[in-house]
Structures are given as structure tokens and as C-alpha cells.
Amino acid sequence: MRIDIVSVAPEILKGTLYNFLIKRAIYKGIMEIYIHDLRDYGLGICKKVDDYPYGGGSGMVIRIEPVYRCFHKLFSERNYDEKIFMTPDGNIFSQKDAKELTYKKNILILCGRYKGIDQRIRDHLISKEISIGPYILSGGELAAAVVVDAITRLLPGVLNNPDSMMTDSLQRGSIYTRPVIYKGLSVPKILLSGHHQKIKEWIRKQSNP
């Protein structure tokens, strides 16, 4: 899978994206990630990417021309199965969405900043709008990193133990490790019993009470 991310703050993405899991996916050739600085497509010598909103109001809005230029350069090189805009008013991202995105070959993600982006970009260049939760971040970069992380760990061959993907904490109830007792707090006896069938049954009940 290949993911291209377009942003006016690429340094935030570089700082958050290349965690060990994503690095491993890239190293194994399972994932390719390319970060594009929208300013490279900006207007004039100042590489302007934003402007005041028509109708007034505070804050700056990302203009359509730099996004159009950047997207069309990328479109001339490959087809994108999904063109995603990260925005707090998008559809709330779920594990099901992450799973669906793993079937795509090429994904393009645009990160919002400032007050927002010109509506014409949303109407004509974007196929999906994603929010990672009902709160407003200062830009879409951290949200994009969350989405990329959630997708990457689901790609076949990324996790050393794919079984752990099926039983990770989202899908499972209580989980314990050593020590058996810490400051009087102990691990449930059943987990130490060595009785595999009973342990399995206990874990199943924990995850679907």
C-alpha cells in the first residue's frame, strides 16, 4: 500500500509517523509513505497557500490552487482509491474504517490547518472526510498519523504475531502480566491454574460479558 499525505506542516508528520511499527512496515516493503509540503505548490515567491475567507470572519482558509496543483501532479502519476480530508466535522473514524482502508492500494490524505479549506476542494477533490473524534486539533496531521497507524498494523505481515491483532485490547477484556502480586494486588487465580480450557473460557467471558 502507498499513502501520500499533503500538509502545510510536514515536520509534524515526520515527527509522529515514523514510529517502530510503521518503520517496520516500510522496511518490509509493505507500506510506502510520502509526505508532500503544500507550500511547494504555493502561489508567488512567498509560496502562499492561504487567504482570508470571503464574507469575513477570523482565521485563514487554504486556497484551492496549491491543493489542485499538488493533487494533479500526484493524479498524473497514479490512481488513488481514496482521497481523504482530515477534518473535525468528518465521519468519526472506527476500527471498521481502518480495516476497509487496508484493501486500498493508493490513498491520498489532505491535512487541514487554519480555519479550514476552500469548500471547492472538499466538493471536487475529496472522496472521504474523516474525523478522529469530536474535538478540534490545530491541524489534521496528528489525526492523519492516527489513521495511518491504525491501517498499518492491520496489513498482513506487519505484526510479528498476527494473532495478537485479533486479541488486542480493543477486542479483549482484562489482561495481566508479571508479577503475580504487586502491593497486594493479584492476578486472577484462574490465569495461573495451567488449566487451558478453563482459562480460554474465562478470557472469552471477559471479552463478551
Footprint on this chain of ligand ADE (rule: CB under 6 A): 86-88, 112, 131-133, 135-137, 139-140, 143
By beta-carbon proximity to ligand ADE, the closer residue of 127 and 186 is: 127
Distance CA 74, CA 82 (A): 13
Sign of CA dihedral 44, 45, 49, 54: negative
Q: Among residues 101 and 143, whose Cβ is nearest to ligand ADE?
A: 143
Which grid coordinates belong to 181? 502480586
Closest CB 69 distance from ligand ADE, rounded Å: 22
Secondary-structure breakdown of the chain: helix, strand, coil percentages, each rounded to the nearest 5:
35, 20, 40
Residue 199 CB, shortest distance to ligand ADE, in Å, is 39
Q: To the nearest whole angstrom, how small is the minimum distance from the Cβ of residue 126 to ligand ADE?
A: 13
Contacts (Cβ under 8 Å, ≥6 apart) of 78 = 2, 106
| Between 141 and 158, CB nearer to ligand ADE | 141
Nearer to ligand ADE, 70 or 132 (CB): 132
Residue type, 206: Q
Minimum gap (Å) between residue 140 Cβ and ligand ADE: 4
> 185-186 and 181-182 as β-strands: parallel, antiparallel, unpaired?
antiparallel
